[in-house]
Structure formats: structure tokens, C-alpha cells
């Protein structure tokens, strides 16, 4: 088992993450995936960490740095997904550890994410990783 965690920087590296990311975001389409991520990287400072085992993508995290009045600088995780075929192999744990390292290295006070109410398995995982529930996340459609 040769596990590597790296920032996806090339189009090929981003494209290689598609099958795993689509497990979390099934609305994504292969033809628009790389341009979409590239656009968000350029406009919003989005970053992507990929965990590969023996060259096969097994987990992906998409994140950004933010500054908030109430807590200062933080690392915000937009998406975190491990391949459903190899869950419980420790890949998610390794990726969260790397995200925490990235946060510390970039002067962040914390790591934040949201998780849909229905994702109970993910909630258990996040609790095991030291996350806690702090607030409700509200949204409303405007268009």
C-alpha cells in the first residue's frame, strides 16, 4: 500500500478525482468538471487534495481559506469524500489529518465543514475526527 496525498494541480490530476467526487456530487458531469474546478480555483482560491493508493484515487477534499469576524482565519471544507468501495480503510482519517496540517500551516484557528442532515455515517466519522456540531446552517433559494 503506497498512499500519497497531494494537491491536484494539473487537469489530469483533477480529472482523475471525478469518479470519487461524483459519489458525493452526482449532478457533476465529466465534460464540465475540470473547467468548473479550474474556475473556482481561479476565482475563489479553491484547492483540492487527492489521496491515492497505489496510484488510484481513493479520497478527495476540496477546501478554501476564509476569514470570519467571529473566529478569524479558518480552513473551510467544501467537499470531502472517500470512495464508497473502500470506506473504513482509514483514507478519510488521513485526509482530515492533512487538512488539519494545512490549516495549522496557513495560520488557521480551525477547520469547518457542513454535512447534510441525512448523512449519518458521515456525521459519525466527523465526530470521531474531533468535529462537533456548533450551529445550524440555513439557506434559501433566491432564483
What letter would DSSP give residue 132?
A: -
- Structural domain includes residue 19: yes
Residue 39, pLDDT score: 97
Residue 137, pLDDT score: 87
Contacts by 122-131, CB closer than 8 A, 24 or more apart: 125/92, 128/93, 129/92, 129/93, 129/96
- Structural domain includes residue 39: yes
Give how many domains the chain has, as a whole number.
1
Cβ proximity of 7 and 49 under 8 Å: yes
Q: Out of 101-105, 113-117, 139-143, give the one with best mean pLDDT.
A: 101-105
Q: How far apart are CA 122 and CA 101, in angstroms?
A: 21
- Structural domain includes residue 31: yes
- Structural domain includes residue 74: yes
Cβ proximity of 3 and 97 under 8 Å: no
Residue 26, pLDDT score: 95
User: Residue 60 — pLDDT band, cuts 50, 70, 90?
Assistant: very high
Expressed as residue numbers, the domain containing 49 is 3-128
User: Residue 88 — pLDDT band, cuts 50, 70, 90?
Assistant: confident
> For the CA atoms of 97, 56, 25, 60, what is the dihedral angle to 10 degrees?
20
- Structural domain includes residue 140: no
- Structural domain includes residue 133: no
CATH number of domain containing 33: 3.40.630.30
- Structural domain includes residue 81: yes
- Over residues 108-124, the mean pLDDT reads 94
Amino acid at each position: 500500500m503506497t498512499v500519497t496525498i497531494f494537491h491536484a494541480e494539473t487537469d489530469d490530476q483533477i480529472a482523475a478525482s471525478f469518479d470519487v467526487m461524483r459519489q458525493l456530487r452526482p449532478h457533476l458531469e465529466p465534460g464540465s468538471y475540470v473547467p468548473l474546478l479550474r474556475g473556482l480555483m481561479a476565482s475563489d482560491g479553491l484547492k483540492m487534495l487527492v489521496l491515492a493508493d497505489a496510484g488510484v484515487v481513493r479520497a478527495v477534499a476540496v477546501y478554501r481559506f476564509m476569514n470570519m469576524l467571529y473566529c478569524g482565519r479558518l480552513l473551510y471544507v467544501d467537499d470531502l469524500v472517500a470512495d464508497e468501495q473502500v470506506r473504513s480503510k482509514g483514507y478519510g482519517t488521513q485526509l482530515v489529518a492533512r487538512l488539519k496540517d494545512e490549516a495549522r500551516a496557513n495560520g488557521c484557528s480551525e477547520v469547518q465543514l457542513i454535512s447534510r442532515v441525512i448523512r449519518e455515517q458521515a456525521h459519525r466519522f466527523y465526530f470521531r475526527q474531533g468535529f462537533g456540531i456548533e450551529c445550524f446552517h440555513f439557506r434559501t433559494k433566491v432564483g
